[in-house]
Amino acid sequence: MKNRKAIVLLSGGLDSATCLYWAKNRFSLVYAITFNYKDRGKREKTAALKIAKRANITELIELDLPFVREHLQSTSDKVTSEYDSQLSAYIPARNLMFYSIALYYAENLSISSIIGGHNRHDAVFFKDASQNYMQRLTRLFNEGSKTQYKDSTNIILPLSNMYRRRIILLAVRLGVPIKLTWSCHKDGYTHCGSCYACIERLQSFRSLGMNDPAFPV
């Protein structure tokens, strides 16, 4: 794949950052695309930009989507459980929108592969983060494409069979700047340590006997 191009959906979190570095080892030219939806946290946005810069990504596509909102930003619901915490990050048709936009750029820029950072746990709750969903989306795109018939575009999920512990080990091996990543659902100065994403991340690092560089000691 070294002579081909890829585009990575970059959120600023550990998973997408790991995918960015994974792609850099496999493709000759790597683009990154990040989406600024309504009320997206400044820390997450900043993390994505810093990670792209550290990875020497010169082809960064940053798009504003002011009409897109997360679930609890559009309701008065309160987070009372792990399910609610996951639901707070839910955006209707998120991956259908985001990957369709990425597919648009893939066709225009002759990019062969789109890389997403969904892990094994994501697909349990978010069905549009599964391999099956992405395969169906890819087939639909390639069926309707007028220029990709000679070289179809693929959506690749390198982490789809991995839980957090294995992703952390891969990130370390690839030299991902973990300290720059942002996973927190809040937008404070540092990770809150109490939201679902923070707790899951901290527990995974601790189970490996490691400190998370993104959290203050």
83-121 pLDDT tens trace: 445 555 667 888 899 999 999 999 999 999 999 999 888
Burial of 80 (0-12, 13-18, 19+ CB in 10 A): exposed
pTM of the model: 0.88
**Per residue in 3-26, pLDDT tens?**
689 999 999 999 999 999 999 999
Q: Which residue has the higher pLDDT, 110 or 78?
A: 110
Beta strand pairing call for 113-115 and 5-9? parallel
pLDDT at 147 over 80: no
Class of CATH domain 5-207: alpha beta
